[in-house]
Structure 1
């Protein structure tokens, strides 16, 4: 069986400008539109929880993933945001541009779908924050017999692992493994918060199958992107079986109750946080850059990702703090900070279950 695996020339996020003035943006958009018109590129509208985002691009790979990823919006719907993705533009380095004034993005010479997906979410998040009092959170969301758990964590701390262990419980169900919306207007009416996510099919890291073998058959039948399938094509092998990145250990992105995960060898395994404590951790967004997850010069060093959300294109710290503080203070959302560096996977899982049982 041959894996449907597309290798893109850019295998990670390309350099970007997320605050392009409208006048300047119109210039780069015109260049993209000219290429797309010549290529007779297709358009596709997606419904991201009521926000219509239109993709206009000439990469079949991106378009295929786009249509698999999102629910389709009606042709008659007016786009709230647009992505123009022009591949094969001469004289342009792989670059991405975002204009906050128009909620539009332009991609030049990159087919990597991961960035396309995250910017679609980022544009929708900006609109939903501004117009619908809806908070977008970068995290996994699980329903356990009607109780919601959101796991927010930097890459490599165990997010996906813990989400799937909760899913395997009786009454467990994955809502999403990467993104969740919280509508605070709805919360005021219902007197509790509801987590939702916009994806029709989840865009997941295939390493997940290493701990969940049942996923292998699903991945084998799915469209894939930039999967290393042979030792010869991996730049990090060391000897017959070693790995330069992890010293022989495979580490992967594992990148209502609310869990924050961290991984170090000093902090206690569990800390219960009030609103002030949670805001301090989230706003700082400190994490260790893991090998393969960022620029090589940053591997093993501390970096900052405010609110642990790299998808936010229009970052409003005051707004983020307001949303998170209301979740904890007004809606009594319990928040625990768990350290997966000093506890086992099962130990961390039991701590989450204990918090669920106490409510």
Structure 2
């Protein structure tokens, strides 16, 4: 069997400028368009909850992932935002540029899909927040017997693990594992908030296979990005045949030809139904609980937060950079990611605070802060269930 795996030259987000003036941006766009025209690059429109984002690029890898990731927008729809992704442009370092005035982005010399995806979400978020009073949250969302849970957390604290455990409950159905839209105008009409997600496929960290071995077969049959296919490329080799992550035997020494957790930022793009089954997915949930996760060895395991306390935690966005989630020199160090949302291209603190405050104070969504560094996975899960039962 051969793995459908693409190795990108940049395996994480490249440097960026998120506030490029229109005049300068037009010059950059012209360079990208020239390359794309020469390459006869394809265009593809995606529907992100009613916002049409067009991808125009010459990377087959990015284009394939784009078309699998999103719901297709009508061919006749006018793009609200555009991404120009030009690979092989001489004289330009791998860089991403965003022009807030035009809601357009240019990527030079990077085929890494994660940043392309996140900027598509970020551009749609900017438009929806400004024009539709819709809040965009970087988090997982699960419906549990009619009660929606949003889990917001930095990478490596167990967000996906806890979302999976909720989904595995008899009444659990997953909405999405990465992004949630909440229309506050709709909330005013209904008297409650509804979370929705824009993706038809999940851009999953393949390291989840370490704790869920059954995912290996699914990933084997999916399009993948940056999977380690040689033992010498593994960051976590221990001794001649060991693995630092599992404290067991290295999968390469077991005769396997690739490892899904040897690199922290390797991915697979998988249809939601293929992972969970058609009966375990839904497109929306009525939000009742907001769960924030952190991981350290000092904080209490469980804290119930009011709006002011939650906003303080979210605005600071403190987290520890895990291997594969940022520059190697930052691994294991503390960093800050306001609102735990790296996708926001236009970071409006006042607007984010207003959205979260309304969620907790006006719409009575409970907020729970859990420390996965001092609790087991099962105990963290029980704390979520206990609080959810009281909503």
Q: Normalising by structure 2, what TM-score?
A: 0.87
Deviation of 1:19 (Å): 0.5
What is the CA deviation profile of residues 205-240 of structure 1, one whole-angstrom value per residue up to 9, with x for unaligned ones? 111122223322221111000011331222442422
Q: Unaligned regions of 5+ residues in structure 1, if any?
A: none
Contact residue 39 and residue 58 of structure 1 kept, 8 A: yes
Deviation of 1:291 (Å): 2.5
Contact residue 180 and residue 196 of structure 2 kept, 8 A: yes
Residues paired across the two proteins, number: 359
1:41 matches 2:41? yes
Contact residue 160 and residue 253 of structure 1 kept, 8 A: no
Change (3 A) 1:279 1:246: farther
Question: Any idea what SS the aligned residue of 2:324 has?
Answer: coil
What is the CA deviation profile of residues 74-106 of structure 1, one whole-angstrom value per residue up to 9, with x for unaligned ones? 110000000000011111111110000000000
Deviation of 1:64 (Å): 0.2
Contact residue 285 and residue 307 of structure 1 kept, 8 A: yes
After the TM superposition, which parts of structure 1 deviate over 3 Å for at least 4 consecutive aligned residues? 241-259
Q: Give, in whole Å, the separation in 2 of the partners of 1:254 and 1:99.
A: 49
Deviation of 1:357 (Å): 1.0
Contact residue 148 and residue 257 of structure 1 kept, 8 A: no
Contact residue 140 and residue 152 of structure 1 kept, 8 A: yes
Deviation of 1:301 (Å): 1.6
What is the CA deviation profile of residues 102-141 of structure 1, one whole-angstrom value per residue up to 9, with x for unaligned ones? 0000000111101100000000000000000000000010
Question: Any idea what SS the aligned residue of 1:267 has?
Answer: coil
Contact residue 208 and residue 254 of structure 1 kept, 8 A: no
Change (3 A) 1:121 1:28: same
Change (3 A) 1:158 1:255: farther
Change (3 A) 1:166 1:255: farther
Q: Give, in whole Å, the separation in 1 of the partners of 2:194 and 2:176.
A: 13
1:265 corresponds in structure 2 to 297
What is the CA deviation profile of residues 31-77 of structure 1, one whole-angstrom value per residue up to 9, with x for unaligned ones? 00000001111100000000000000001110000000000001100
Question: Any idea what SS the aligned residue of 1:34 has?
Answer: helix
Deviation of 1:302 (Å): 1.2
Q: Give, in whole Å, the separation in 2 of the partners of 1:250 and 1:282.
A: 38
Q: Give, in whole Å, the separation in 2 of the partners of 1:254 and 1:321.
A: 50
Change (3 A) 1:319 1:135: same
Deviation of 1:18 (Å): 0.5
Deviation of 1:320 (Å): 0.1
Question: Any idea what SS the aligned residue of 2:201 has?
Answer: coil
Q: Give, in whole Å, the separation in 1 of the partners of 2:68 and 2:357.
A: 35
1:207 corresponds in structure 2 to 207
Change (3 A) 1:252 1:200: farther
Q: Give, in whole Å, the separation in 2 of the partners of 1:30 and 1:252.
A: 46
Change (3 A) 1:293 1:249: farther
2:383 corresponds in structure 1 to 351
Deviation of 1:246 (Å): 9.3
Change (3 A) 1:172 1:257: farther
The 10-residue stretch of structure 1 (73-82 or 226-235) with the greater mean CA deviation from structure 2: 226-235
Contact residue 52 and residue 77 of structure 1 kept, 8 A: yes
Change (3 A) 1:5 1:131: same
Change (3 A) 1:16 1:309: same
What is the CA deviation profile of residues 8-37 of structure 1, one whole-angstrom value per residue up to 9, with x for unaligned ones? 111111111110000000000000000000
Change (3 A) 1:249 1:310: farther
Contact residue 258 and residue 335 of structure 1 kept, 8 A: no
Change (3 A) 1:16 1:254: farther
What is the CA deviation profile of residues 178-225 of structure 1, one whole-angstrom value per residue up to 9, with x for unaligned ones? 100000001111111111000011110111122223322221111000
1:126 matches 2:158? no
Question: Any idea what SS the aligned residue of 1:130 has?
Answer: helix
Deviation of 1:172 (Å): 0.4
Q: Normalising by structure 1, what TM-score?
A: 0.95
Deviation of 1:255 (Å): 29
Deviation of 1:247 (Å): 8.6
Contact residue 241 and residue 249 of structure 2 kept, 8 A: no
Contact residue 156 and residue 254 of structure 1 kept, 8 A: no
